[in-house]
Structure 1
Amino acid sequence: MSKLAHLTQILITLQYKKLVTASELAEIINVDKKTIYRYIDTLVAADLPVYTKKGRHGGFYLDGEIFIKDAKLNEEEMKSLLIAAEVLTADNGFAFEHEFKRAVTKIKNVSLRNEDKLSVLDSSKDFKISSIGDLGKIEDIMCKINYAMSKGRALETIYYSLAKTSTTKERLDPYNIILREGSWYLIAYSYLKNEVEFFALSRIKSLIVTDDIFIKPQDFKLGEFLEKNWVAFRGSNKQIKIKFSKSTAEFVKNIKWHAHQSIEDEKDGGIILNLFLDDFAEIKQWIMGFGAEAEVLEPKELRDDIADDIKKLYVNYKIKMA
């Protein structure tokens, strides 16, 4: 990542986290603390209102009067962008589906403050933003999390599954908020699973700050946690084997999808990804996004489920093309 990208990430993090230590920034961006201090000096030299609060509970903060402006997209431009993210898929021959959706996510996250524009889109009859994430409420959620962290208060949340087909009630001790790959995540101790996990803010349906006090363990290191646990899918009960074609093999190999995944190389240049999950719904849509470039080998129930959906798609398109 370039210096400019690092500086931008620091500014966006300061904008929403209010007060951040050099150690936290170093762990989030994956650089040493000396580099963080040099970055802060660069921002100050550029006349940006970045200030330092000294003392035990100190850190860096940004003047409340400044914020990263959005792209000033009008309603139709925003709608077109979001619809394009749904239409331009690997199934339709678009080779850069994942990269494009990451870019759209980054634009959405910088546009959080434009709530009126988002509410108009959300109420549109011909387009539903709910499939991508309720951006209008993320800023409110972030404010509540920041308050809970500053006061050492536990959270009660209702959390969507990845496919948003079900919800889970979670009691959490919030440790940190980070910006990764254009999206915001909460790092928190889950009482339900008895371990520290990450939670996408866009998948939080509701959140309440409780009066119950918690203390973050002194031995918790954000950098170590991210190195071991930054994955797209989690679970341990059911094994899944997915074969990817040669054209998508490098993309899949270069990303850590599961903490305990394994990859087998095939003679034709493809690969087989092995991982364990508790819920097939969380990975089904992801697999289908690769179209014919991905094939589920195991388990049979997931393979059959995807096959049924493909048959329904075929019938729908056959009727429309007839």
Structure 2
Amino acid sequence: MRNEALYRQWQILHLIYQNGSRGISLQNLADEFGVSKRTIRRDITNLSAVGFPIYDEVDNSRGRQLFYYIISNYRIPEIQFSLPEITELYLAYLTFESYYKNDSNPLAAALKKINSTIPEEMRNFLKRMNKDIIPDDSLTLKSSENLIEKVRLIQQAINGGKRINFQYFNPFKKEYSQREVSPYGFKSYQKNFYMAGFCHSRNKIRTFAVNRISELKIISKKILKQELDLKSFFDDGFGIFSGNLRWVELHCSAEIAYFIKERNWHPQTKFQDLPDGSVIMKLPVNGFLEIKRFILSYGSNIRVLKPVALKKIIAEEIAEMKKLY
């Protein structure tokens, strides 16, 4: 796995923090990660060098072993915010408050601290002003609060180098399946989170919509290490889900050409302007499901030029739609 030392150091930091006043021994850390004590010492040195408040102590009551601890009362030095900065932070808090209702979430706790610094009269004024800012919740999931909790638990598994078990819902088959996954990371897309991980139940790297995960648990098995560039994995094609990479060529009418060209698509997307104001768009896609939805959303303003297989899929969908009207 790329940056293996970095991931290990991040996991070490969380293990020390989770063990609190008990601490965790040098030997236990070496055993946990299957490396030498010398490697762990070097990791601790690196973490301390960048400012994490770790200290070590020999515990005579536990076999004179070396234990590591986090300074319990450590706080980041006080930050001074200007009035415009603190009011902007509070407006951001009001906008995203519904996503972080659980006080155990670290970000929710931080937002509440910001809230507490604002005088009540000013808070009321800003709340009234915020009513004029309507957030786009058209694609917001109904279970956004649970979504954040799932993301936090999966992130905890990633930090600890552990696998997860869960039930995964397939909306097409209308059924759940049991999965065991080594999680690697996330991408936020259309107000949902998508997790990339090695699915031990399917023996391949898959993408999972976090909102479709239930009965999520961290298990004791260590993650399967893989060489995975998350950005490349998620950005290889159109949309979020992975699949066989194929090139698509679309003719976009002059009516929508400006709107198509003003958006960021795949980095390899190419446009060819035509004399009548229309444009030909060429881009790679992973499978046809998401690009099909995109094409149909623009109706007669987009025509598939290539490949033939996609043209057939769109034609069949239109034929089925005709039966409804």
- With the shorter chain as reference, the TM-score category is 0.3 to 0.5
Highest relative contact order (Cα 8 Å, sep 6+), 1 or 2? Answer: 1
Give the TM-score normalised by the residue count of structure 1: 0.46
Structure number with larger C-alpha Rg:
2
TM-score, with normalisation over the residues of structure 2?
0.46
